Amino acid sequence: MRCADEFRSREITTPLVEEIVRSLKRPVRIMEVCGTHTMSIFRHGIRSLLPDSLTLLSGPGCPVCVTPASHIDAFIKAANLPQVTIATFGDLIRVPGSKGSLAAARAGGARVEIVYSPMDALTLAAQEPGRIVLFPAIGFETTAPTIAATILQAERSGITNFMIIAACKTMPQALEALMADPELQVDALLCPGHVSAIIGADAYRPLAERFHLGCAVAGFEPADILAGLLSLIRQINNDAPRIDNCYTRAVTAQGNIKAQALLNEVFESADSEWRGLGTIPGSGLVLREKYRRFDGLHQLEIPLLPSKEPKGCRCGDILKGRLLPPDCPLYGTACTPLQPIGPCMVSNEGTCAAYYRYSGQKESRRQTQVERS
């Protein structure tokens, strides 16, 4: 599409890069917490345009990557029930649980369909009244209202064979938990575009104030991202952190009130386990009592069991910005996009996958250590 090309054009990005170089007065570490930002930064080679003293860290912004193995295991368990069809976003199917994946279940005969929208899953349920269609509900504040709207539609049209496993998460609580970690050194946050479109730029105010942290909400095109980075560098230079909304074509201060209302009608917050980050209070969304009949865990009596991370996978440290993918001993050897071990290598938005595809670095820096140990 034409407008996208215009956003990418060098005419716009070159002066932004030059201004970033001019403005940078000391080494700065900025975390981006949106999988789409991560992907865009790599795909457009933005890191290579920026000075070495500006470090970009990827945070827990990829919904697939932060879904813990316990939830993946529950999705697989549901898939293996003979009466159940799983209708899922495509990037979830290859994510490993503690044993196997949805793709492996499908190869073994389970019915797993890829959908683009939760509404497509509901359509499938309407077409096949003899089966239970279960949608693994992962995602952040942008996706949760789409699932809420789908559940409301299911209720209105009296479709009873549609269910979800509620595994959505909310961003501000996770960012609070991350920023409170004394080991994490981050000078400023590049806030997600579409999560912010829903929750509003003001949602980051407590975070900015409590941690004296610069925040910039940015869109996904290179010029958007560069404008966001420049805003953050200026905030750091002036020691005046605030919330700068650099994505006004989608984001307002208050966010999308309709979407918030949908979300609140169907879901309530609960503690939630994040892969690699552990359980974060109030960071998950579960169905309200009123909508309990759509709860697949409850209806199909599937337990959520504690689970282990894949052996040797360092996704947790990567999601916290402590390590870069090549610091993982499995990177590029045992773990590649074709043979992923951890979720960060599976999802298109995962940091390991983006690094592998676009950075040119295809091998772990730690390989020899592993061979010795």
Residue whose C-beta lies closest to ligand SF4: 342
Residue 208 is encoded by which pair of tokens?
Answer: 């900015």
Kind and range of the H or E run holding 271? strand 267-274
**Interaction of residue 331 with ligand SF4, rule CB under 6 A:** yes
Which residues of the shown chain bind other proteins in the complex (CB under 8 A)? 1, 3-4, 6-7, 11-12, 14-16, 18-19, 22, 34-36, 40, 63, 89, 91, 116-120, 139, 142-143, 145-146, 149, 152-153, 156-157, 193-194, 197-198, 219-221, 223-224, 227, 230-231, 242, 244-246, 248-250, 256-259, 262, 349
Query: Minimum Å distance from CB 61 to ligand SF4?
Result: 15
Which residues are paired to 138 by β-bridges?
A: 167
Dihedral (C-alpha) 289, 293, 294, 299: value to the nearest 10 degrees?
120
With contact defined as beta carbons under 8 Å apart, do 262 and 151 qualify? Answer: no
d(CA 66, CA 272): 10
d(CA 349, CA 142): 15
Dihedral (C-alpha) 345, 348, 351, 355: value to the nearest 10 degrees?
90
Query: Minimum Å distance from CB 33 to other proteins?
Result: 13
By a kind-dependent CB cut-off of 5 to 8 A, residue 249 interacts, out of ligand SF4, other proteins, none, with other proteins
By a kind-dependent CB cut-off of 5 to 8 A, residue 157 interacts, out of ligand SF4, other proteins, none, with other proteins
Contacting residue, 195, 215, 330, 354, with ligand SF4 by CB under 6 A: 330
Among the listed ranges 44-52, 81-89, 268-276, 307-315, the one in contact with ligand SF4 (CB under 6 A) is: 307-315
**Residue whose CB is less far from ligand SF4, 159 or 323:** 323
Strand ordering across the sheet containing 243-245:
54-58, 28-32, 188-191, 214-217, 243-245
**Interaction of residue 345 with ligand SF4, rule CB under 6 A:** yes
Instruction: For the chain, state the CA radius of gyration.
Output: 21
Dihedral (C-alpha) 30, 31, 34, 35: value to the nearest 10 degrees?
100
**Interaction of residue 267 with ligand SF4, rule CB under 6 A:** no
**Interaction of residue 110 with ligand SF4, rule CB under 6 A:** no
- The conformation of residue 33, written as its DSSP 8-state character, comes to -
Contacting residue, 103, 342, 347, 366, with ligand SF4 by CB under 6 A: 342
Give the binding site for ligand SF4 (CB under 6 A): 313-315, 318, 325, 328, 330-331, 335, 341-342, 344-345, 352
